Copies of this chain bind each other. A is one copy, B any other.
C-alpha cells in the first residue's frame, strides 16, 4: 500500500543554491510517516503521550535525483518496508507531478520513555503489518 500526502515547499526550506536544502527532506519524511499513521487511525502524538512509545530514527538516508524548488507542490508516497520486533522501516518517494525527485528510507526502533526497546501497541503493530509492502 502506498500512502500519499502533499506538501508545499516553503521559502524557509530553500538555500542559496536556489533549491531545497537537502537536510530538510527528512522533516518531510517525518510528515509522511505521521500522516500514514493518521490514515490508519493512529496519532503519533498519542502514541508518545498515551502509549509511552517513541520512535527515534536510528538510520536515515536519501537519494536526491532532481531538486525540489520553492513553491513546488510535492507528492510524498510513504510506505512501511519492514516491521520486525521493535524495528520499523519506512520508505519514501517524493514527486512533483510524475517526476521522481528523491527516495528515502528511515529505520526506527520503538522504545519507551526510559529508552528500553519495546514493541508497538498491538493495534498499531497489526495495522502496520497489514499494509506491509
Contact = CB atoms under 8 A, between A and B. Distances in A.
Contacts of A54: 17
A89 B63 CA distance: 13
Interface residues of A, number: 37
A10 B31 contact: yes
A26 interface: yes
Interface SS of A by simple majority: mixed
A127 to B, nearest CB: 19
Contacts of A19: 16, 56
A14 B12 contact: no
Contact of A24 (B23, B34, B59): B23
Given A26-B26, A64-B56, A14 B11 contact: no
